[in-house]
Amino acid sequence: MAESERRRERERRAAVTGRVALALAEVERLVGEFRTLDPAIDKIVLFGSLARKDVTSPGFDIDLAVACSKERYLAIVARALDSPFRVDVVDLAAADDRIKASIARDGVILYEK
């Protein structure tokens, strides 16, 4: 590998690392926002590449699963849309088996009553 390729790879890794740090701060902020929107929320789980700590591209998204009231779910999704990151919010009660398996395997519980 040429020196210029190694330098580009180091820069790419640094960009990913920096973006991951910002995303984790955003996750903390979102957890607080979600809990404010629905004080009765039962659970918030981070899953996907950010939870597995295997982010390889700066274009990653934040995957969150929530157990909350149906009435507040849409407000939570709307709040996630305001994030500077692409955030996918899954309703745990309505998630398909593939998503539930991913959450069970790799999920990090951020909040639970």
pLDDT by position in tens, the chain (length 113):
688 888 888 888 887 888 999 999 999 999 999 999 999 999 999 999 999 999 888 889 999 999 999 999 999 999 999 999 999 999 999 999 999 999 999 999 999 99
CATH of the domain at 99: 3.30.460.10
Range of the domain at 70: 3-112
**Total-model pTM:** 0.88
Domain count, the chain: 1
Residue 39, CA distances (Å) to 36, 42, 82, 110 in order: 6, 9, 20, 15
